[in-house]
Structure 1
Amino acid sequence: MTMGILARGALGAAVLSMTGAAYAQSGNFIGLGAGAIPVYEGSSQYRVIPVPLINYHSGNFFITPRAGLPAMGLKTSLAQDLDVGVFVGLNLGRDENDADLTKGMGDIKFHGAYGAYVEWRPGRYSLGAAYRQAARSGYGGTLELRASYAALKTEAHTVQVGVSTEWANRDAMQTWFGVTSSQAANSREGLSTYSPSSGFKSATLFTSWGYRINSDWSALTTVGVNTVLGDARDSPLNERKANVFGSVGVVYKF
């Protein structure tokens, strides 16, 4: 699957899932968009990334963003509107040359990830929790909690508003927000050592709008704001407490 290799970092991956949120219940689709996001959570520098959009379900099999990662997996229904599943996905990581503050820090390597989720969709609401674990030693895992509401549903328009938060274990916090003694020594910006603890690392508020152009094509737009929390906010890598992000795309329903 190619989606995951195009998005760097947690926020970049999350844009993939949020962009398709307004249209995910409309069946299978595939498309492409573009997103404007910070280089990493808390960075003052921005980048534009391609945003592949895919939502495919066939029986218990799916390919769709899960826990901020494009993923494929298997699901089953425990009750009406209540699903659980397992998934595998990809994360490219972070290149040390992505931003001024990360130069000399070394790369966060390309790696796989796996996890499990539970999702409940009563009416217009959607509540979910998902845990993903990096399939690379020392990179850690994160737990995402998300809630959203379909504020508008017509034949042509779907508007969804939502909130999410992510908890990261110690390894994940150290990977993305920590600075080891060797990294501090190599840092071109003279960063000091920093060892964050596990805890909630970010919270996001977003809105997704899906516009049905015709029976086959739709346009998707997402805007939101992400803020770092706890030890992530105190990291010497953190330049901004909050970042805005957005994306636009077009999908074909099949």
Structure 2
Amino acid sequence: MINDPRSLCLCFLLGTVPPAMAQDLVGGGIAVAPWYPGADSYRIVPRPLVNFQRGPFFISTGQGLPGVGLKMNVAPDVAVGVRIGLGLGRDEKRSERLEGLGDIDSHAEYGVFAEWKPGRWSASIAYSQAAKSGYGGTLSLRGSYAIWQQGRHNVQVGAGLEWGNSDHMQTWFGVTPEQSARSGAGLATYRPSSGLRSGVAFASWTYRLTERWHVTSVLGAQTLVGDAADSPIVERKTAAYGGVGLSYSF
């Protein structure tokens, strides 16, 4: 499942299992991404890669961070499910632009999703709600296609859109009057509305080293749009991201 409401969950980013590797596996790697949505600076972080399912129960990093849930097939190539996991926060010390705005805490998330995987295609829709009051929720649409499947190689390309409700947009892109008064950068008050917040495009390449070992690399870009792009906290509207990881299937 592909869903990305937070700064490091930019679609793949090594947290997502490519359709060609939709089997039990463990692994990890490193990823490069902005410190937060709209940041001008980047960070390198370790990323886990986990996919395990027994019956309807699964453990997966399909949303970028480890989570658990239940899913079931409701039609050929179609599955629906529920999921709980973790959401990243934001530290005001990571940028002078954020000084005085306060931190966004890491928090639990829960949501529902549906997947459609016919052949080389893969598509998903998911809603994720922060368990912390006032943090809001997001709706994500994702799709990918395997443009090359031959021998040891599997190359995927994909794109997605993300919508945020009013609480989510205010938490991540808004500036309250109190925050404006404390702002070290002198940011003006800003209240974004609910709406489309970002679009993403990516490509991934999975190379099979052996029957069980795989290397996956990812490269993509995310663009903030609408009220999110117009936020005074945003230093860069479009940012690249990427990563590489090694996994073992069993």
TM range (shorter): over 0.9
For 2:186 and 2:5, the matched residues in 1 are separated by 23
**Among candidates 156, 167, 174, match of residue 171 of structure 1:** 167
> How many angstroms does 1:161 deviate by?
0.5
For 2:28 and 2:151, the matched residues in 1 are separated by 22
> What letter corresponds to residue 221 of structure 2 in structure 1?
V
After TM superposition, the structure 1 = structure 2 runs for residues 58-97 of structure 1, keeping only pairs within 5 Å, are 58-97=54-93
1:230 equivalenced with 2:230 (yes/no): no
Report if aligned partners of 2:219, 2:242 keep a CA contact under 8 Å in 1: yes
For 2:42 and 2:25, the matched residues in 1 are separated by 28
Report if aligned partners of 1:76, 1:83 keep a CA contact under 8 Å in 2: yes
Deviation per residue, 1:124-154 (Å, 9 max, x gap)? 1111100000001000000000111011122
Task: Quote the sequence identity (%).
Answer: 47
Question: Secondary structure of 1:176's partner?
Answer: helix
Question: Secondary structure of 1:108's partner?
Answer: coil
For 2:152 and 2:7, the matched residues in 1 are separated by 29
Report if aligned partners of 1:82, 1:119 keep a CA contact under 8 Å in 2: yes
Report if aligned partners of 1:101, 1:237 keep a CA contact under 8 Å in 2: yes
**Among candidates 175, 183, 189, match of residue 185 of structure 2:** 189
> How many angstroms does 1:17 deviate by?
5.8
Structure 1 residues 68 and 189: CA distance shift in structure 2, 3 A: same
- Counterpart in 2 of 1:217? 213
Structure 1 residues 16 and 253: CA distance shift in structure 2, 3 A: same
> What letter corresponds to residue 183 of structure 1 in structure 2?
Q
> What letter corresponds to residue 193 of structure 1 in structure 2?
T
1:55 equivalenced with 2:51 (yes/no): yes
- Counterpart in 2 of 1:111? 107
> How many angstroms does 1:13 deviate by?
2.1
Report if aligned partners of 1:67, 1:144 keep a CA contact under 8 Å in 2: no
- Counterpart in 2 of 1:128? 124
Count of residue correspondences: 247
Report if aligned partners of 2:90, 2:105 keep a CA contact under 8 Å in 1: yes
- Counterpart in 1 of 2:94? 98
Question: Secondary structure of 1:49's partner?
Answer: strand
For 1:82 and 1:154, the matched residues in 2 are separated by 25
The CA RMSD measured in Å over matched residues stands at 1.7
Structure 1 residues 15 and 79: CA distance shift in structure 2, 3 A: closer
**Can you give the 5+ residue segments of structure 1 that lack an aligned partner in the other structure?**
1-7
- Counterpart in 1 of 2:25? 29
Question: Secondary structure of 1:12's partner?
Answer: coil
- Counterpart in 2 of 1:159? 155
For 1:218 and 1:241, the matched residues in 2 are separated by 33
TM-score normalised by structure 1 residue count: 0.92
> What letter corresponds to residue 200 of structure 2 in structure 1?
T
- Counterpart in 2 of 1:45? 41
> How many angstroms does 1:222 deviate by?
0.5
TM-score normalised by structure 2 residue count: 0.93
Report if aligned partners of 1:207, 1:224 keep a CA contact under 8 Å in 2: yes
For 2:45 and 2:28, the matched residues in 1 are separated by 11
> What letter corresponds to residue 143 of structure 1 in structure 2?
L
For 1:218 and 1:39, the matched residues in 2 are separated by 28
For 1:16 and 1:22, the matched residues in 2 are separated by 8
- 161-170 vs 24-33, greater mean Cα deviation: 24-33
Report if aligned partners of 1:226, 1:244 keep a CA contact under 8 Å in 2: yes
Report if aligned partners of 2:15, 2:64 keep a CA contact under 8 Å in 1: no
For 2:136 and 2:65, the matched residues in 1 are separated by 15
